[in-house]
């Protein structure tokens, strides 16, 4: 493949690590400049189609979702990589190569503080519906969607992990009980949906740059914060907010762990290359799920 950009011509491509739903390549040009090429073309998405997946958790991939999320985040003041050009027909985008590495490599408190400020601006955005940008879901409640998804992931995990299979009935009862304890609300906020420190880059000014934005959606803020707590650990203090519903946090926490068992193991049915990384995610979250079962046995 040859890429031309602002009078430059590509001379080298390097595939970047990760990228289970799209290809990400660092492109070097003939004058030494670099950029990142995102490709959503056939063959770049390693995820098999998940039967019964419900919105807004359907496959968050594609140039259209990327551009919609990019426009919305830019509008609310969240730093995302600059887009140099897009090729609609081939599902390609050439974007800024942010030079400072990933936040997970440093966990710099100053950058974390800036990230918290940026995300709180995003979380201030409200909608009376939930769903991906431009694709509202009006027929179900957010809690109902999470419960349905958690039970499906529990069934998947039970078939793949013997210990979860043994605990399946108790865990299903726990999901139903946690969901039943939650009061309805319609205060949906704009969230990234899967924000870990590996999805934040640092630019030359020391500012955080958010990537992997295709899953941007309006949803319960608690869903975002369950994932942030899981991924940022002690550094979550830089990102926390007041007023979260702990009942939702409990249900969404268990649902998240079930998703992170079933999803990675399903991904490994295909030919995803970084297999040990996905197995480790599944192992860690299976243990978290089983901790819930032990809590049921020893309330």
Split at pLDDT 50, 70, 90, the class of 52 is: low
Residue ranges per structural domain of the chain: 4-297
CB of 47 closer than 8 Å to CB of 21: yes
Q: Is the pLDDT of residue 134 over 80?
A: no
Class assignment of domain 4-297?
A: alpha beta
Token code pair at residue 138: 């009006």
pLDDT attached to residue 233: 97
Split at pLDDT 50, 70, 90, the class of 135 is: confident
Q: Is the pLDDT of residue 9 over 60?
A: yes
Q: In whole angstroms, give the CA distance from residue 133 to residue 140.
A: 17
């959503």: which residue's tokens? 40
- The CA-based angle 236-278-234, given to 5 degrees, is 15
Mean predicted confidence (pLDDT) in 238-252: 97
pLDDT attached to residue 297: 58
pLDDT attached to residue 61: 87
pLDDT tens sequence across 90-99: 999 999 999 9
Extended beta strands in 97-187, E state: 126-127, 130-132, 135-137
Token code pair at residue 251: 């249900």
pLDDT attached to residue 190: 97
Closest CA to 90 of 122, 70, 109, 63: 63
pLDDT attached to residue 50: 63
Mean predicted confidence (pLDDT) in 70-79: 97
Mean predicted confidence (pLDDT) in 273-277: 87
């Amino acid at each position: 493949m040859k890429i031309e950009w602002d009078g430059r011509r590509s001379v080298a491509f390097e595939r970047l690590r990760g990228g289970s739903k799209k290809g990400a390549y660092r492109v070097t040009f003939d004058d030494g400049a670099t950029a990142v090429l995102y490709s959503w073309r056939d063959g770049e998405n390693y995820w098999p189609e998940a039967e019964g997946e419900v919105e807004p958790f359907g496959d968050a991939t594609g140039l259209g979702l990327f551009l919609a999320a990019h426009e919305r985040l830019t509008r609310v003041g969240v730093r995302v990589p600059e887009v140099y050009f897009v090729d609609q027909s081939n599902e390609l985008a050439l974007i800024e190569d942010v030079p400072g590495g990933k936040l997970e490599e440093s966990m710099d408190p100053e950058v974390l503080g800036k990230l918290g400020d940026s995300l709180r601006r995003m979380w201030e955005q409200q909608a009376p519906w939930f769903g991906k940008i431009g694709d509202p879901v009006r027929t179900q409640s957010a809690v109902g969607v999470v419960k349905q998804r958690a039970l499906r992931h529990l069934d998947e995990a039970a078939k793949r992990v013997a210990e979860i299979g043994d605990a399946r009935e108790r865990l299903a009862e726990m999901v139903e009980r946690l969901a039943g304890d939650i009061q309805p609300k319609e205060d949906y906020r704009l969230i990234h949906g899967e924000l870990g420190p590996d999805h934040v880059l640092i630019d030359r000014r020391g500012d955080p740059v958010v990537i992997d934005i295709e899953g941007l959606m309006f949803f319960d803020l608690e869903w975002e914060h369950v994932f942030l707590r899981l991924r940022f650990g002690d550094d979550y203090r830089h990102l926390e907010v007041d007023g979260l519903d702990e009942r939702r946090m409990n249900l969404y926490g268990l649902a998240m762990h079930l998703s992170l068992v079933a999803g990675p193991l399903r991904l490994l049915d295909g030919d995803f290359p970084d297999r040990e990384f996905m197995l480790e995610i599944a192992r860690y979250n299976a243990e978290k799920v089983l901790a819930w079962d032990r809590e049921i046995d020893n309330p």
